[in-house]
Amino acid sequence: MEIGFVGLGAMGRGMAANLLRSGHLLRVWNRSVAPAQELAVQGAHAMDTPAEAGAVDVLFSMLADDASTRAVLVEGGALAAMKPGSVHVNMATVSVAFAREMAALHREQGIGYVAAPVLGRVDVAAAGKLNIVAAGPAELIQRVQPLFDLMGQKTWRFGDAPEQANAVKLGANLTLACAIEAMGESVALAGAHGIDAGGFLDLLSSTLFAGSPVYKGYGGMIAQERYSPAGFKLALGWKDVGLANDAAQAQGVRLRFGEVLRETLQEAVRRGDGELDLAALAKMSKVDRQ
């Protein structure tokens, strides 16, 4: 079996590296050539175009958003190069509307389509311990499951329509951003009364939210004001919270806190924090207090 992987950013690089353990031929492509060349040293085949990477049995993509996914897969020719009966697995966090559009396009071309966004930061991706949220035809997910097992510790299935996986991922990222906002505001409250942020957040992660990697991990970053290097950029969090609001509105659902959070993240990006880790959202409560 031949495998392709396009989009070798911070997350994709580690995921593609883990696929090399499958023993199958792996074709890789990225806009900047350095990540593809690094993987070539490990045994991958670096391609010059997305179309060359797409001429495989299973194609994985991990691109930043709707626009970049469309540019690489559709305009870049990756999908057109795929043969009927092959499978494309989109592991990016994209909008529900775009996922629906992509599913229809794949059906027209006779290509299988699975949406499989992931939960986990860069170090988790490199370790092959991601949680994979998958939706699409059961037989297609079953076909690619051995490859999922190389990249993740568990695959969570959420329906036969690919866009359902994207709805779940957007909901998860909305919850993550809400938790960070809650920590930022509560730290600002405690700090205004002379309470140390580290001790306060240690209390939360050891009692009310014991066992939560979000409160433990992000709480530690907030306490130390350690926002760089970014494992998940704040600008991407803004994008995802916006997509969550859009997906809810399309179904007649209003996310009242989600709307406020979208505005807060947008303001953080305007202030120049977009390239920092999403944990930097906590800075906004301090800004308001000042």
Q: Catalytic residues, which ones?
A: 169
Q: CA angle at residue 272 from 266 to 278, to 5 degrees?
A: 65
How far is Cα 33 from Cα 49, in angstroms, rounded to an integer? 11
Closest to 86 (Cα-Cα) out of 145, 159, 3, 189 = 3
User: Residues 2, 22: contact at Cβ < 8 Å?
Assistant: no
In the block, residue with structure tokens 């994008």: 239
- 149 CB-near residues (< 8 Å, 6+ apart): 155
For residue 162, what is the DSSP state?
T
DSSP helix/strand/coil, 153: strand
Count Cα atoms within 13 angstroms, Cβ side, for 198.
Answer: 3
How far is Cα 200 from Cα 210, in angstroms, rounded to an integer? 13
Q: What is the DSSP string of 213-276?
A: HIIIIIHHHHHHT---S-SSBHHHHHHHHHHHHHHHHHTT---HHHHHHHHHHHHHHHTT-TTS
Closest to 15 (Cα-Cα) out of 105, 108, 90 = 90
How far is Cα 256 from Cα 247, in angstroms, rounded to an integer? 13
